[in-house]
Structure 1
Amino acid sequence: MPITVTLDVMLARRKMRSKELASAIGITEANLSLLKSGKVKGVRFDTLEAICRELECQPGDLLAYHPSNGAPS
């Protein structure tokens, strides 16, 4: 998939553990882990908002788009 989640990078920059973030935003560590690994099909805007609030970042700091080679435009 051309969208990658860079949440682990932002957590490292903020020196925050996944457990702390999960607790602060009210989701399970397991769900946060799935999000970090990119194994989810989507993310609720209220969850994204809570992550951005806690990490003091923008949604674009957590997601990256890498177009596939040879994919039609």
Structure 2
Amino acid sequence: MIRAADNYRWVGIYDVNDEEIAVIAWSRIGATAYPRFPVTQGLSGQAVASRSTVVSNDVTKNPPIPDSLR
């Protein structure tokens, strides 16, 4: 419903604790690339740290989360 409300390409719902971010639901077919990762990593980690929205026009141009941190 959220995705359709404003024609978003992808919407995810995450569980966030002091150490980890974990996706619990998403709106596209197939699993997300990083279902769990440290709260200090990625665009979601930036959003948690800043307590604000982070917008990326092309997530492939953002640094990936290293396999060792997933």
TM-score under structure 2 length normalisation? 0.28
Higher strand share: 2
TM-score under structure 1 length normalisation? 0.27
Higher helix share: 1
- Which structure exhibits the higher relative contact order, with contacts defined as CA atoms closer than 8 Å and separated by 6 or more residues? 1
